[in-house]
Amino acid sequence: MSYLETPESDTWSDLLSGGRLPRLLLIWLGVWVGAVESLVTATIMPTVAASLGGYAYFSWAVAGFMVGTIVAVASAGRLAERFGLARACACAGAVLTAGCLISALAPDIYTFLLGRLVQGVGGGWISGFAMVAVAQFFPERHLARVFASATAIWALATVLGPLLGGVFAESGGWRGVFWLFSAQAVLFVFAALRLFRGAAPAERTVRVPWVQLGLLAAGVAALTLASLASHWLVVLGLMGVAGLMLFRLREVDQCATNRLLPGGAWRLQRTVGAGYATLFAVTAASMALLIYGPPILQALQGLSPLRAGYVVAVQAMAWTLAALAVSGADQEGERRWIRWGAVSLLLGVTLLAGVMTAPVPWVLAAAAVCGLGLGWGSSLMNRRLLRVLAEEDRAIGSSALIAVRQVGGAVGAVLAGLAANLAGVGEGMSPESAGRAAPVVFMAVLPMALFAVWCAWRFTRSAD
């Protein structure tokens, strides 16, 4: 074992030395841009709709961004291999810049929606390429700390994003948000061209799996539309279409020589497959609180939007602190914390199903339990997955870390949304409908939390 691989070098100071700090800062910028852009835009959308007269198309801004993001993240690994990480990142930043400029200059809602779709593609690529950069530039001993620090940036975006959006919305200058993000994207372009030059060289023989990406796009689009539909029969129909598309994607990708996901990713009996399934299920189980926690508390407890948003902030901060606390765990600790994380998330979701109508401190405590579960497992799951991947799969495997989570988020949103609509939320969030929805939205994602526990146990057995 070399000096660099000794346990003593597995420290934050070692992580930030050796020329790694500038690249880590760039990765943080990529995470920040990907996270805060969606959160800020969600906050300013009522103002945008009032300005452009597009209330009827309100939800399409979210749908277009989500579809663009997931498909882009899924393709990031192959694109980084084909064109080289530096040029791929520069292209992603340019696309995000173009999308932001389109929205900033939009004269009508249709142009704005086009800008949101382009932003989703650019932001998704940046997020995916950031994960590829982690796999290429950082040794295994630092991966958990890198992912934990990225979680902290995401948590910061969760707290500051809505605040930033509120400032622009209240000032009436919502277009300034997109000018700001276009400037950040330009900064990312020039920094990536300089700092990511030492990545693996481009391989022109690598092909992009367009068939699989088309099936993924169709499935994600159906899932997204299902999360926005109001009638439960339409929701079920769209979920059926999404399931068919994703099942077909599994069949095609398993037999393809040019894969979208790493080898073994579609098989639960393999370590890689169990790992991605855990990421999927954990994210799906966490969506009910993220989407319905604040509005339910506003309707039931009379909280302001800002105070109700503290529930999500508490979960995000608990997630960050837990991830940082376990980032130095060895492989035995890794197995233990991944399992404890899944169990804690299951406990938190179960508690939320019972305490949403209780005093707010109980809700905050349950949200913190969920956050601890997410934090204990998230960064260590990423590290473990990258370690068990074959070398030729590290690029697509690293970008898939986000793609699989995004798809899990879409599934969780649909499950919670279907439960909420059955409880009457589709007709408005009144105290009565909120009271009915409070337990059932969490019960709807409870099977995902149970599935996460089962997958976590399989994932943390001996590697293949």
In a domain, 23, yes or no: yes
How confident is the model at residue 311, as a pLDDT? 77
Return the axis-axis angle of helices 271-301 and 305-326, rounded to nearest 10°. 150
In a domain, 12, yes or no: no
User: What is the C-alpha separation between 143 and 330, in angstroms, rounded?
Assistant: 12
Residues 244 and 124 grouped into a single domain: no
Query: Do the beta carbons of residue 205 and residue 92 sit within 8 Å?
Result: no
Comparing CA positions, the residue from 278, 454, 283 lying closest to residue 381 is 278
Q: Which has more confidence, 444 or 293?
A: 444
Residues 214 and 330 grouped into a single domain: no
Q: What are 19-36's pLDDT values in tens digits?
A: 888 999 999 998 888 777
Residues 34 and 146 grouped into a single domain: yes
Residues 220 and 336 grouped into a single domain: no
In a domain, 1, yes or no: no
Q: Which has more confidence, 11 or 55?
A: 11
Q: Kindly report the CATH number assigned to the domain that includes residue 442.
A: 1.20.1250.20
Give me the numbers of helices (H) and strands (E) for the chain, helices first please: 15, 0
Is the pLDDT at 114 greater than 60? The verdict is yes
Residues 143 and 118 grouped into a single domain: yes
How confident is the model at residue 56, as a pLDDT? 59
What confidence category does residue 426 fall into, taking pLDDT thresholds of 50, 70 and 90? Answer: low
Is the pLDDT at 293 greater than 70? The verdict is yes
Residues 250 and 314 grouped into a single domain: no
Question: Is the Cα dihedral 136, 138, 141, 145 positive or negative?
Answer: negative
Q: What are 52-78's pLDDT values in tens digits?
A: 876 556 567 777 788 888 889 889 888
In a domain, 10, yes or no: no
Residues 203 and 221 grouped into a single domain: no
Alpha carbon distance, N-terminus to C-terminus of the chain: 23
Residues 274 and 404 grouped into a single domain: yes
Helix (H) or strand (E) holding 206: none
Percent of the residues in the chain that have a pLDDT greater than 90, as a whole number = 31
How confident is the model at residue 55, as a pLDDT? 59
Is the pLDDT at 7 greater than 70? The verdict is no
CA angle 447, 156, 335 (to 5 degrees): 45
In a domain, 305, yes or no: yes
What integer best gives the mean pLDDT of the chain? 85
Query: Do the beta carbons of residue 222 and residue 409 sit within 8 Å?
Result: no
What confidence category does residue 451 fall into, taking pLDDT thresholds of 50, 70 and 90? Answer: very high
Is the pLDDT at 214 greater than 50? The verdict is yes
Provide the domain count of the chain.
3
Q: Give the predicted TM-score (pTM) of the model.
A: 0.84
Residues 199 and 288 grouped into a single domain: no
In a domain, 9, yes or no: no
Q: What are 339-385's pLDDT values in tens digits?
A: 999 999 999 999 999 998 888 899 999 999 999 999 998 889 988 99
Tokens 């966490």 — which residue?
A: 286
Residues 31 and 151 grouped into a single domain: yes
Residues 358 and 464 grouped into a single domain: yes
How confident is the model at residue 464, as a pLDDT? 47
Range of the domain at 335: 264-464
Single-letter amino acid, residue 68: G
In a domain, 3, yes or no: no
Residues 26 and 58 grouped into a single domain: yes
Q: What are 123-141's pLDDT values in tens digits?
A: 999 988 998 888 888 888 8
